[in-house]
């Protein structure tokens, strides 16, 4: 019994000293277990007669970034073992102070993505992304609670004031001669305006066929932009007739869009969703594909043309996929004349979101003026003319910035020439004590 207690005591004493070594060994062991399991699963699938099959497959998977990585088929026991190792890795990283969410926040679909990731660095980036989302959700929840509490206090104060005041109170929210317009009435009015646009307004197509070229985060971002396209077009005075073409309802983008707009598939909802290509709905002679990779600028807006916008978010690599598709279909292409009307800032990309493109076309249809329409481009990406003039004046001011009291001798009006850097300083006595010092 004494020996056992001594061993336990020694372990307890030695544990703080080897904490760093224990964490490093645990991380290396977890990465090694996951790598060995992935290699074992791949060796069962590959042909054992070809000794270069594994290297060739790994090289092709590393160089091909367009295709999505396929999840290896693993047994439930192996998946459970990897899950335990990854949960231990996430808990250790969270205790080290890294940006890792709690295990309660991580759901089954999160763990499926984590298991399919090839390296620890990729998992840590995904943990950081989930941690930011959890922090944002928690902040919104706290703000909502504070707003609800302040609203309740305000309602209580109004009720108390009304109880103390026996007279009739006139105004908005009180006794008024105006009818109250409910949100449902505004929604019906906007939907009716969209139905009228289906009959008489020009057509705009959003091509939703790029889901295979986007990862999950890019697809969710594209879905949010598609929702904003519908909302901002719906709120405009003269909206377009929007058509969502090449739609796959099982894709990640459409699932997220349906979560934003739950009634989008209802027959009475004014939203055009097509699984067919836009070339089967409209004539090719009237279709113009807007792509930033072509060399032809869009000079004027033509209401008879059907403009197509590629619903793609390409943050990783900007490839000319829309231009290739337009050439394959034999369509006319054009781009917005951004360089002609805007001065781009240094380091800012020229990519625009889908809702910004729709807003630019809406104002271009209404005004016909490119300078007015391109105000929807974010100001952080461009340099205004006033800023350019201010920077020019600042440079000129720095060039002629000379102090007058340095030119004239003691304010007597006697001009004293300024010595240059290489001129000999007269009446300078040599002091051996100060020689070689900074003074």
Instruction: Give the DSSP per-residue string, 325-369.
Output: HHHHHT-EEEB--HHHH--BPTT------HHHHHHHHHHHHHH--
Q: What local confidence, expressed as pLDDT, does residue 244 receive?
A: 95
Closest C-alpha to 297, from 333, 239, 260, 337: 337
Closest C-alpha to 226, from 267, 259, 266, 190: 259
The better pLDDT of the pair 34, 251 is held by 251
Going by pLDDT thresholds of 50, 70 and 90, the confidence category of residue 66 is very low
Q: What local confidence, expressed as pLDDT, does residue 51 receive?
A: 42
Exposed / middle / buried, residue 239 (Cβ in 10 Å: 0-12, 13-18, 19+)? buried
pLDDT at 76 over 80: yes
The better pLDDT of the pair 26, 352 is held by 352
Report residue 298 as tokens. 């869009």
Q: What local confidence, expressed as pLDDT, does residue 166 receive?
A: 77
Average pLDDT of the segment spanning 64-78: 59
Q: What local confidence, expressed as pLDDT, does residue 11 receive?
A: 40
Q: What local confidence, expressed as pLDDT, does residue 9 receive?
A: 36
Residues whose CB falls within 8 Å of the CB of residue 61, separated by 6 or more in sequence, listed in order = 69
Give the range among 204-218, 315-329, 373-387 with minimum mean pLDDT. 373-387
Q: Convert the pLDDT of each residue in 91-146 to its tens digit.
A: 999 898 899 999 889 988 899 889 988 899 999 999 999 999 999 999 999 999 99
- Residue 14 CA from chain centroid, whole number: 47
Closest C-alpha to 342, from 393, 296, 376: 376
pLDDT at 409 over 60: no
pLDDT at 35 over 70: no
Q: What local confidence, expressed as pLDDT, does residue 17 receive?
A: 45
Q: What local confidence, expressed as pLDDT, does residue 305 receive?
A: 93
Q: What local confidence, expressed as pLDDT, does residue 350 receive?
A: 75
What gap in Å lies between CA 33 and CA 125, rounded to an integer? 20
Closest C-alpha to 312, from 298, 296, 292: 292
Paired with 245 in beta bridges are 207
Residues whose CB falls within 8 Å of the CB of residue 356, separated by 6 or more in sequence, listed in order = 376, 377, 378
pLDDT at 385 over 90: no
Closest C-alpha to 308, from 426, 197, 207: 207
Residue given tokens 């092709």 in the structure block:
60
Percent of the chain clearing pLDDT 70 (strictly above): 69
């Amino acid at each position: 019994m004494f020996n056992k207690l001594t061993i336990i005591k020694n372990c307890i004493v030695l544990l703080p000293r080897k904490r760093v070594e224990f964490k490093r060994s645990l991380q290396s062991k977890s990465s090694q277990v996951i790598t060995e399991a992935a290699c074992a699963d791949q060796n069962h699938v590959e042909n054992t007669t070809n000794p270069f099959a594994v290297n060739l497959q790994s090289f092709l998977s590393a160089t091909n970034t367009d295709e999505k990585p396929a999840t290896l088929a693993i047994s439930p026991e192996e998946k459970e073992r990897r899950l335990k190792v990854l949960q231990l890795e996430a808990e250790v990283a969270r205790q080290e102070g890294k940006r890792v969410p709690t295990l309660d926040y991580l759901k089954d679909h999160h763990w499926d993505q984590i298991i399919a990731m090839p390296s620890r660095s990729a998992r840590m980036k995904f943990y950081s992304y989930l941690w930011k989302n959890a922090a944002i959700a928690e902040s919104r929840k706290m703000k909502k609670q504070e707003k609800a509490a302040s609203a309740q206090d305000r309602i209580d104060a109004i009720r108390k004031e009304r109880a103390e005041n026996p007279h009739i109170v006139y105004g908005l929210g009180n006794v008024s001669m105006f009818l109250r317009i409910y949100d449902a009435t505004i929604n019906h009015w906007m939907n009716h305006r969209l139905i009228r646009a289906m009959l008489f307004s020009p057509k705009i197509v959003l091509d939703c066929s790029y889901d295979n070229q986007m990862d999950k985060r890019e697809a969710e971002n594209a879905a949010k932009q598609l929702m904003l396209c519908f909302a901002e077009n719906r709120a405009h005075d003269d909206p377009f007739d929007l058509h969502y073409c090449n739609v796959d309802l099982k894709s990640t983008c459409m699932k997220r869009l349906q979560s934003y707009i739950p009634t989008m598939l209802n027959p009475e909802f004014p939203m055009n969703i097509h699984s067919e290509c836009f070339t089967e709905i409209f004539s090719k002679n009237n279709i113009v594909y807007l792509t930033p990779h072509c060399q032809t600028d869009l000079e004027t807006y033509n209401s008879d043309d059907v403009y197509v916008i590629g619903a793609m978010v390409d943050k990783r690599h900007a490839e000319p996929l829309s231009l290739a598709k337009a050439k394959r279909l034999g369509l006319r292409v054009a781009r917005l004349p951004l360089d002609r009307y805007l001065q781009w800032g240094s380091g800012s990309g020229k990519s625009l979101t889908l809702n910004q493109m729709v807003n630019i076309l809406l104002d271009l249809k209404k005004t016909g003026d490119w300078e007015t329409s391109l105000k929807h481009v974010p100001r952080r990406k461009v340099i205004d003319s006033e800023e350019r003039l201010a920077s020019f004046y600042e440079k000129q001011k720095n060039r002629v910035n000379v102090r007058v009291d340095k030119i004239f001798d003691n304010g007597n009006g006697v001009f004293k020439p300024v010595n240059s850097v290489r001129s000999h300083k007269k009446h300078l006595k040599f002091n051996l004590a100060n020689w070689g010092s900074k003074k």
